[in-house]
Amino acid sequence: MSALTVTGLCKSFGGLHVTTDVSLNVEPGERRLIIGPNGAGKTTLFNLITGELTPDSGSIQLFGQDITGVPSRRRAHLGMARTYQIITLFARDTILHNVTLALLGLSPARWNPLIDLRRQGHFVEHAQAALERVGLAHIANRPLSQTSYGERRRVEIAMALTQNPKVLLLDEPFAGLSIDERRDVQQLLLAIPRDVTIVMIEHNMDVALEFAERITLLHFGEVIVEGNRAEVVADPRTREVYLGH
């Protein structure tokens, strides 16, 4: 059974076809890279997969279960987590609180209006452990507004990982990072166990090609090329639309 199956997905904004008949099949444990020039519809595809946008037609299956009509928030409970290209975090709160919110999102305790959240030791421990994993444990209590861009990227990843997703969608996790930070994030992603399936959008080919086993090239909302690393890089269409002549 595939981890994620997308069949004939279409989405238009007015007359603009952003996603045109996209079909994907991602196997469990796979590392899939989605590339494509600006405006190819990569982030829109993510938004359709996570349910933030509703497709005009087509279907999405998560481990064989049809989730096309399932609301976005339920998909998180079914094991789907994502990070955002434009960092979407809680700037007023500490790093720890950001991760705690991610943990709380899947816990029934999120409806409890009577207990003190800061006294819930297991949340704090789990959040701390997730920050340990991304190397931010030492600044867990720092307000997010006082962190660097690279640290925020790692907070994004920590929040996604702490939800123990089966499918993890990473939208340009290396965007805007320095070479050192990029290496840190790369190490972090390589350390994610194989029971997590990863789909990643990335422009930075050096790090991305190394990471991915299969690559899908999108262009004007359509899948142009799909295959393993060598096939896609060697394909003349990839050179034409993406890598340059």
Partner 1 sequence: MSARPFAIAVAFVALATLPHWMPGIYYVNVASQILFYAVFALGLNVLVGYAGLVSLGHAGLFGVTAYAAGYMLQLGFGHPLAILAALVIGVASMAIYAALSLRSTGIGFIMITLALGEILWGLAYRWISLTGGDNGLSVKTRPEPFGFSLSDANTFYYATLVIFLLSLAAAMVFVRSPLGAALMGTRDQPRRMNALGYHVWAIRFCACLFSGLLTAVSGILFVYYTQFISPQTLALTSSAEVLLMVISGGAGTLLGPIVGAGLVVVVKTVVSGFIERWNFLLGAIFVAIVILMPEGLVPGTARLWRLAWRKREPGPGAIKGGAGAKP
Interface residues toward partner 1, by CB under 8 A: 50, 52, 72-74, 76-77, 81-82, 84, 88-92, 97, 100-102, 104-107, 109-118, 120, 141, 159, 163
Residue that has been written with the tokens 């899908």 in this structure: 216
Minimum gap (Å) between residue 155 Cβ and partner 1: 12
Residue that has been written with the tokens 């050096």 in this structure: 206
Using the Cα atoms of residue 97, residue 94, residue 185 and residue 177 in order, give the sign of their dihedral: positive
Q: Which of residues 86 and 179 has its CB atom nearest to partner 1 in the complex?
A: 86
Strands (E), the chain: 4-13, 16-26, 31-35, 57-62, 65-66, 80-82, 167-171, 197-201, 214-219, 222-228
Assess contact for 176 and 148: CB atoms under 8 A.
no
Map residue 9 onto helix, strand or coil: strand
Minimum gap (Å) between residue 201 Cβ and partner 1: 15
Minimum gap (Å) between residue 163 Cβ and partner 1: 7
Q: Which of residues 158 and 212 has its CB atom nearest to partner 1 in the complex?
A: 158
Minimum gap (Å) between residue 118 Cβ and partner 1: 7
Minimum gap (Å) between residue 50 Cβ and partner 1: 6
Minimum gap (Å) between residue 113 Cβ and partner 1: 4
Please choose, from the candidates 73, 67, 54, the residue with its C-alpha nearest in 3D space to the C-alpha of residue 13: 54
Q: Which of residues 28 and 105 has its CB atom nearest to partner 1 in the complex?
A: 105
> How far apart, in whole angstroms, are the C-alpha atoms of residue 69 and residue 78?
13
Q: Which of residues 1 and 115 has its CB atom nearest to partner 1 in the complex?
A: 115
Residue 126, amino acid? H
Assess contact for 139 and 152: CB atoms under 8 A.
no
Minimum gap (Å) between residue 46 Cβ and partner 1: 10
Q: Which of residues 117 and 233 has its CB atom nearest to partner 1 in the complex?
A: 117
Q: Which of residues 62 and 223 has its CB atom nearest to partner 1 in the complex?
A: 62
CA triplet 3, 99, 28: central angle to 5 degrees? 10
Q: Which of residues 116 and 180 has its CB atom nearest to partner 1 in the complex?
A: 116
86: Cβ–Cβ under 8 A, 6 or more apart, which residues? none
